[in-house]
Structure 1
Amino acid sequence: MKSGFNLLSLILLLSIFSCTDEKSNEKETKRPNIVFIMSDDHAYQAISAYSDKLIQTPNIDRIANEGILFTNASVTNSICAPSRAVILTGKHSHINGKIDNLTPFDTTNVTFPQILQKAGYQTAMFGKLHFGNNPKGFDEFKILPGQGDYYNPKFITQKGDTTIQGYVTDITTDLTLDWMEKRRDTTKPFLLMYLHKAPHRSWLPAKRHYTEFTKKTFPLPETLFDDYANRGTAAATAEMNILKHMTYNYDNKVYPEIVKALNIDDRELYNPIERMTPEQRASWDSVYGPINEDFKKRYPGMNDSTLMVWKYQRYMQDYLGTIAAVDENVGRLLDYLDEEGLTENTLVVYTSDQGFYLGEHGWFDKRFMYDESFKTPLLIRWPHVITPKTTSEELVQNLDFAQTFLEVAGVKAPDDMQGESLMPLLKGETEKWDRDAVYYHYYEYPAEHAVKRHYGIATKNFKLIHFYYDVDEWELYDRKKDPLEMNNVYDDPTYAETLAQMKEKLTSIREKYKDSDALSEQYIDIYKDKGLIE
């Protein structure tokens, strides 16, 4: 009898503990999952939710259709690694120390994935980080070394390096879904950082897309032949003009032997198609070979105008071709969330590490505070919280992501983070959002593309920029009357009052974010110490 009582007691105790564990796990899994999708150099102009002039992106658009589209999202520093550091730390570049692609990332920085991991989230990263080979705060990662490769890429993992045959955008998704299916702990909420290399230079599409996109012709930007009048030195001296600075071989895929035969002065860069297998190369040559032969025949009769248009079309065909693969693979991930019943409790973000020029002002690349570089796509879906098909014109930045994700997870953000949680905007509580200006600072000069150092402030209506170091020039733009930013009104007496107000705001926001001319001088000294400048 006594033995029976003990057995019954044991069963009851086990039942209680089991129920407690189930309730604990159930409570844990109710914390929202976070899927952060970021592409590299994806211009908002190349997402059909923003504009359908260049490409259709139905899967990326789906996030906006089922959530919110931000039309005034921007970055604090438009260059790859610094942008990623801002996202991870929730701090401006001058605070986290990652001011450019050259300086190392200070690993003593605390990142939001570390905080979420400590708070019980399972964390994983797949794709392109762009700095550091051992990211902190992740239970598993498989990342590309540096820029990575489009074909047959190498990945860095906790178990060592591995090379995988295939196309990088597809592989990144394969790795992501493999983790989701086989190693995700279903008792925990998860943070998944799903990071694409595409559409970063040198824009190598997959076979299924280059056969299609190389046949397309795209509309020319209104400012393709910009002469940079009515602006200062910076725009006129930048080295990212499609005609003058885009390379024939590396960028436009003109074979080296044809470049040489035509006696074209072209910079020699790493040739990424050399990574292809013989089968991949044969397929590539079957499409790009005829393009090369046609160019060889036409080149002698081309002038600067026709050559600019040819280079622009080649650029768009390959750039947009890489985006087609990103969109398809975003669809694969969204479908998986649906199939596994994860959609309802998962926040999904799509963004880029900055904007990009698609021929506007005659440019490719980024770096400037002008809109195509400064603004970045941002689409967020969160069922039952975000009202579908919402559009927000509020001023938000990549600086805000860390604090947003921490609030979503119910975790207190460190006091030294500098962003603001987007939660009021996600909930439709716009009246609780009081930001009227955002701050920007670019440091990497002299360097690739020769974009001068500058900082500035943007409101919904105006933008004030100060170029410094080797120049001392100011630019003011009326964002409503001059959305293409073609006319600097800094010296226009009509804008004298506006200029005074913007300068006052700039001083205030620099104090708020703890930036200063003295700190800028310190970072100039870093360049001098490295021998990059005299």
Structure 2
Amino acid sequence: MKTKHFSQILVFLLTLMLFASKTNAQSKKEKPRNVIFILTDDHRYDYMGFTGKVPWLETPNMDRLASEGAYLPNAFVTTSLCSPSRASILTGQFSHSHTIVDNQAPNPGNLTYFPQYLQKAGYQTSFFGKWHMGSHTDEPRPGFDHWESFFGQGVYYNPQLNINGERIQYKDSTYITDLLTEHALDWLKNRDDDKPFFMYLSHKAVHAEFQPARRHKGKYEGKKIELPPTYDQTKTGAWRDLKWPEWVADQRVSWHGVDYMYHNNIDMQELVQAYCETLLGVDESVGAVLEYLESEGLDDSTMIIYMGDNGFSWGEHGLIDKRHFYEESVKVPLLVRCPDLFAGGIMPQAMVQNIDVAPTILAEAGVKQPKDMPGVSFVPILTGKKPDGDRNEVFYEYYWENDFPMTPTMFGMRTDKYKYIRYQGIWDRNELYDLENDPNEMYNLIGDPSKQDTIKNMLESLYSWLENTGGMQIPLKSTNRPRFGDYKHKGEY
């Protein structure tokens, strides 16, 4: 009888322990997660030390994010341009939906930024750095309890910051990357410990004109990158046999072409050196954030997301800059670290996009995803629940700009196998590339008889995407579009 009574007590205690364990696990899972989002400008997806793309480039802190977290090599933007991409990150929408289609288009006035949802959920939020979306002003925007920004592109040295509505001018060779990092860390140190936090650190670097911190200037002097296989085709005339569009060949001697970069006789290798030196300050910023989280015991539970707003070409197809739908332009670096969620050192091949950032962060905050966000959280990709992701294709759109008329309006679709690019308003060839067999996008297969069914299917998918998401009308913007001599603040282009 005593044995039976003891067994009943033992079963009761085990049941109680299991219930408590389950409750604690649920509580831990449901607890809103602290998130730090670090955004850089024009950082190409493979220009980090651990990728080996540039053997002499050193980025130890980005390397650490990759080794202790995840590197997603197939991360894409929906429009490879600063303002549209930043708007897609903040709204979780395509460019034709939020209508900030270029760097001059104004905010339509009806947009909600995902940090606003975080505020309603009890988060303390902050923004540091480049906004450059919807206008060139520096005024505080909705969704942020603490705000620090500057006009347009800003400057690398001696910046002026608008801090919660008050403009402060910095002198004595103050470097913008260091200043933003210092202020971001100060905010973290003085935050309310009882509330979850979201911090958006948005660096000016590594946007042209590249200016590294003085301590990094000259570090890579004389270093060179290997020129890409498609570098010379527009110079030798081989582009005709490769069936490239004529606008690509014509752009070689333009603002975004390798023979007349930024309308100057500049050596591209020297530009790459300055670009990489400028990136070193950003890497140190990442290290400073990691060091702070470690000191506070927050490094395992805090999700850090590092991302670029668009990619950058360094000679591919005879081009520099972004805007086009070639891989180096549309791909961005995406590093995610959160030891509480997943083990480090993984490299998921699934395709993700910038419209997935907002759903990911909202999901970690326990906030229901709004219906106007078509993206998905990429956490299931990182944890192995959905290692292949939720999409089989990504779509792309870019709208002709008055200030940079060399690149036409284009729409595109990419799968793991093929990329299709369709141009609007220009008498020229469209493009199809077999990415598996031609990763450099050298051989345009648009006229290949054996690929016509593929082209037809991709075109139908492209139009279906536009029709289903309200993108069949190009969102023209009625706005005063400043020319190069009209900017009040240096570097706004």
State the TM-score, normalizing by the size of structure 1: 0.79
Equivalent residue number for residue 414 of structure 2 = 458
- Residues 24-83 of structure 1 show CA distances to partners (whole Å, capped at 9, x for unaligned) of xx9899421010011100011311233342512110121111111111110001100110
Q: Find the counterpart in structure 2 of residue 190 from structure 1.
A: 197
Larger deviation, residues 404-413 vs 467-476 = 467-476
Q: Distance in 1 between matches of 2:286 and 2:361?
A: 20
- Counterpart of 2:284 in structure 1 is 328
TM-fit CA distance, 1:504: 2.5
Alignment check: 8 A CA contact 2:350 2:388 kept: no
Shift of 1:316: 1.1
Tell me, in whole angstroms, the C-alpha distance in 2 between the residues paired with 1:464 and 1:158. Answer: 45
Aligned to 1:515: 471
Secondary structure (helix, strand or coil) at the match of 1:207 reads: coil
Contact 1:29 1:188 in 2 (8 A): no
2:211 is equivalent to residue 213 of structure 1:
no
Query: Map of 1:121-200 to 2, 5 A cutoff?
Result: 121-131=123-133, 132=135, 133-165=139-171, 166-182=174-190, 184-200=191-207
Q: Match of 2:201, SS?
A: strand
Which residue number in structure 1 is paired with residue 118 of structure 2? 116
Q: Which amino acid in structure 2 is aligned with residue 196 of structure 1?
A: H
Q: Equivalent residue for 1:47?
A: 48
> Is 365-374 or 229-238 further displaced after alignment?
229-238
Letter in structure 2 aligned against 1:31: P
User: Cα offset for 1:215?
Assistant: 4.0
1:292-371 equivalent positions in 2, closer than 5 A: 311-371=267-327
Q: Describe the SS at the equivalent of 2:431.
A: strand
**What is residue 262 of structure 2 aligned with on the other side?**
246
Could you report, residue by residue, the CA deviation over 1:90-123 in whole angstroms, capped at 9, with x for unpaired residues?
0111111101111112332011000101110100
* SS of aligned partner of 2:83: helix
Q: Secondary structure at the match of 1:35?
A: strand
For 2:35 and 2:425, locate their aligned partners in 1 and report how far apart those are by CA, in whole Å. Answer: 41
Q: Deviations over 1:433-483 (max 9, x none)?
A: 331111110013343262111011111110111111233642111111111
Q: Following superposition of structure 1 onto structure 2, how do residues 16-27 of structure 1 map, counting pairs within 5 Å?
A: none
Q: 1:96 aligns with which of 86, 92, 98?
A: 98
Are the counterparts in 2 of residues 216 and 317 from structure 1 also a CA contact under 8 Å? Answer: yes
> How far has the Cα of 1:385 moved from its partner?
1.1
Counterpart of 2:81 in structure 1 is 79
Q: Is the 8 A contact 1:78 1:373 kept in 2?
A: yes
Asked whether the equivalents of residues 43 and 358 of structure 1 are also in contact (C-alpha less than 8 Å), the reply is no
Provide the rounded CA distance (Å) in 1 between the counterparts of 2:211 and 2:149: 19
Amino acid in structure 1 at the alignment position of 2:106: P
Matched, 1:60 2:62: yes
Q: Tell me by how many angstroms 1:325 deviates.
A: 1.2
The 2-side partners of 1:444 and 1:134 are apart by: 29
Query: What is the alpha-carbon distance in structure 2 between the residues aligned to residue 527 and residue 450 of structure 1?
Result: 21
Secondary structure of the residue aligned to 1:440 is strand
| Partner SS for 2:411 | strand
Decide whether the 8 Å contact of 1:99 with 1:444 is kept in 2. Answer: no
Q: Which has the higher helix share?
A: 1
Residue pair 2:66, 2:335 contacting (<8 A) in 1 also = yes
Q: Is the 8 A contact 2:247 2:428 kept in 1?
A: no
In 1, Cα distance between equivalents of 2:263 and 2:175: 23
Deviations 1:217-255 (A, max 9, x none): 333333332314321133123331122233448xx5xxx
**RMSD between aligned alpha carbons?**
2.3
Q: 1:530 to 1:62 in 2, by over 3 A?
A: closer
Using the TM superposition, give the Cα deviation of residue 494 of structure 1 relative to its aligned residue in structure 2, in angstroms: 2.2
Match of 1:291 in 2: none
Match of 2:433 among 468, 477, 495: 477
**Which residue of structure 1 aligns with residue 107 of structure 2?**
105
AA of the residue aligned to 2:108: D
Contact 1:446–1:452 (CA under 8 A) maintained in structure 2: no
Q: In the TM superposition, what whole-angstrom CA distance separates every residue of 1:264-306 from its partner, at most 9, and x where no partner exists?
A: xxxxxxxxxxxxxxxxxxxxxxxxxxxxxxxxxxxxxxxxxxx
How far apart are the structure 2 equivalents of 1:432 and 1:476?
A: 24
Q: Distance in 2 between matches of 1:141 and 1:494?
A: 55
Q: Which amino acid aligns with 2:92?
A: G
Answer whether contact 2:212 2:278 (CA < 8 A) is retained: yes
TM-score, normalised to structure 2, is 0.85
Name the CA distance, whole Å, in 2 between partners of 1:379 and 1:439: 21
Deviations 1:329-387 (A, max 9, x none): 21111111111111121010011001011222232210001111011111111112122
Higher mean C-alpha displacement, 408-417 vs 236-245:
236-245
Would the aligned equivalents of 1:37 and 1:349 in 2 still touch at CA under 8 Å? yes
Q: What one-letter code is carried by the residue in structure 2 that aligns with 1:500?
A: K
Preserved CA contact (<8 Å) 1:28 1:189? no
Q: Which runs of 5+ in 1 are unaligned?
A: 1-22, 253-310
1:193 CA displacement: 0.4
Partner AA of 1:172 in structure 2: L
Q: Aligned partners of 1:64 and 1:529: how far apart in 2?
A: 43
Corresponding pairs, count: 442
Question: 5+ residue gaps in structure 2?
Answer: 1-23, 484-493
